[in-house]
Amino acid sequence: MTPVLITGAGAVSCLGVGVPAMWKALCAAPEIRPRPAADPGARMRLPLIHPAPAEPGTDGRATRLALTAAREAIVDAGLTSSECARAPVVLGTGGGNADHWERPLAAARPAPPGFTVAAALATAIGSGAGATCVSNACAAGGFALAIAADLIRTGEAEVVVAGGAEAYSRVALACFNRMGAVDARACRPFHRDRAGTVFGEGAAVFVLETADHARRRGVRHAYARLAGSGWSCDAHHLTAPEPAGSQIRRAMTDALDEAGATTGTVGCVVPHGTGTRLNDVVESQALGAVFGDHAAHLPVYSLKALIGHTAGAAGALGALAAALMLDHGTVPPNAPLGPEQDPHCPVNLPQGPSQPLTGRHILVNAFAFGGNNVSLVLEGSAA
């Protein structure tokens, strides 16, 4: 199967702008508290968010976050304008430019379409090859990357620009408040006292290409390969996970199979783990079922404890964390949970100093409302 290389990356989140800033923060694991949204219309009990620095401009906020990440990824990969022209854009976002399509507080302001993030990226990089906006909620970024890999494997494209972006949405946060799914303190996946999630803003965008294409243009560095994806749908409930986790298990095993990975070659998992009570238990049990004896020792890196739940960007930011771990050969420390880890979530969350990555694969999960699940497997490019 055609290998898909990750040769460029860009990111923005509450950790700041840029991939180097993100890796530095991952290794330092600072405690970052969410803040009340800077929105006078946010009439809700817990208007909490991890804001990301959006560049100034008149575009919607999700577009501006995506543009920041995309520009970095293009420069990082060294793509020329003629290469960009042939690169389709696939961008995941749950709510798109929510600041545009939600009712403007200023009634006279026009309400332009919300899901123009992929098109804005295509315009900015000069792509002629297409723009697809994927909106599978909190799995959107993961699906966007999986679709990008399929575009390459089916021979439709040699190089793709893909990722995820999510900005504050008043309605989304209000609905999470109404459903009792926001934690008043922080995003605390696998914590005994977790009471819901906390959203974060962010974007991660990648340049993906065939090994041939990379060789022809003299690429010297690839972070990792996007080696496989597994897709599934619970078809169970709009918001609650299927308790047995049969479909998330299938997404994981399909992704491992497609990547040619075995449970023994996986050195880390970046889980979906949002801090929602039932979801974290179901995912922990599914990891136990997929990895068997290996599960107790398999490091799990809980990115959302650091940056919040970045929804449509979460799968892409999770994939970026995985790519950086493979590139550095290091698993950064988890945000400290200590003895407060939920015994019903028996996953291995290494805390303390960074540790070396053992195993050449990393599994990344992104699950969503509607029971939409996607798992990605990344492989070290040196492997």
Partner 1 sequence: MRADTLVVTGIGVVSPWGNDPAKLDLRTPADADEDWFDVVSELGPRGYKYVPPGCRYLIAATRRALRDAGDAVTRIPEPRRGMAVGTENGIAGLIDAMDETVTTAGADRLSPATAPYFSVNTLAGRVAMEHGIKGWNLTLTSPRAAGLQALQAGSRAYAAGRCDLLLAGSTEAALPSHHSGHSASDAGAAVLVLEPRAAAAARGAALHGTCATATFFLAPLLASGTPAPDALRTTAEALARVTPARHRNIHPPVRLIAEPSPVATRLLSQLRTLGLRTDFLPAGSGTLLPVLHIAHGLTAPGPPHIVATASPDGTCALTAVHPQPPTDPTLETR
Partner 2 sequence: MTPHHTAIDIEELRATIAETLELDPEEVTDDARFVEDLGADSLLALEMQVVLEEDYGVHLTEDDLRRTTTLRAAHALLVARTTQGGTVS
User: Contact positions toward partner 2, by CB under 8 A?
Assistant: 178-180, 237, 239-240
CB of 181 or CB of 295, closer to partner 1: 181
Partner whose binding site includes residue 174, from partner 2, partner 1, none (CB under 5 to 8 Å by kind): partner 1
For residues 160 and 209, is the Cβ–Cβ distance under 8 A? yes
Least distance in Å: CB of 225 to partner 1?
17
User: What is the C-alpha to C-alpha distance for residues 9 and 17, in angstroms, rounded to an integer?
Assistant: 12
CB of 29 or CB of 244, closer to partner 2: 244
Least distance in Å: CB of 278 to partner 1?
15
For residues 236 and 371, is the Cβ–Cβ distance under 8 A? yes
| 145 membership: H or E segment, kind and range | helix 140-153
- Name residue 13's beta-bridge partners: 16, 202
Strands 202-210 and 224-233, by their bridges, are unpaired
CB of 46 or CB of 187, closer to partner 1: 46
Least distance in Å: CB of 343 to partner 1?
30
Least distance in Å: CB of 241 to partner 2?
13
Query: Which one of 138, 187, 268, 345 is the catalytic residue?
Result: 138
Residue 49: what residue type?
I
Neighbouring CB atoms inside 10 A of 277's CB total 18
User: What is the C-alpha to C-alpha distance for residues 112 and 225, in angstroms, rounded to an integer?
Assistant: 37
CB of 27 or CB of 233, closer to partner 1: 233
* Catalytic site includes residue 138: yes
Distance of CA 263 to the CA centre of its chain: 22
Partner whose binding site includes residue 250, from partner 1, partner 2, none (CB under 5 to 8 Å by kind): partner 1
Q: Measuring CA to CA, which residue among 92, 201, 211 is closest to residue 140?
A: 92
Query: Which one of 50, 191, 309, 361 is the catalytic residue?
Result: 309
Partner whose binding site includes residue 81, from partner 2, partner 1, none (CB under 5 to 8 Å by kind): none
Residue 184: what residue type?
A
CB of 21 or CB of 175, closer to partner 2: 175
- Name residue 228's beta-bridge partners: 377
Least distance in Å: CB of 238 to partner 2?
8
Query: Which one of 50, 100, 272, 361 is the catalytic residue?
Result: 272
Residue 11: what residue type?
A
Partner whose binding site includes residue 234, from partner 2, partner 1, none (CB under 5 to 8 Å by kind): partner 1
Residues that are catalytic = 138, 272, 309
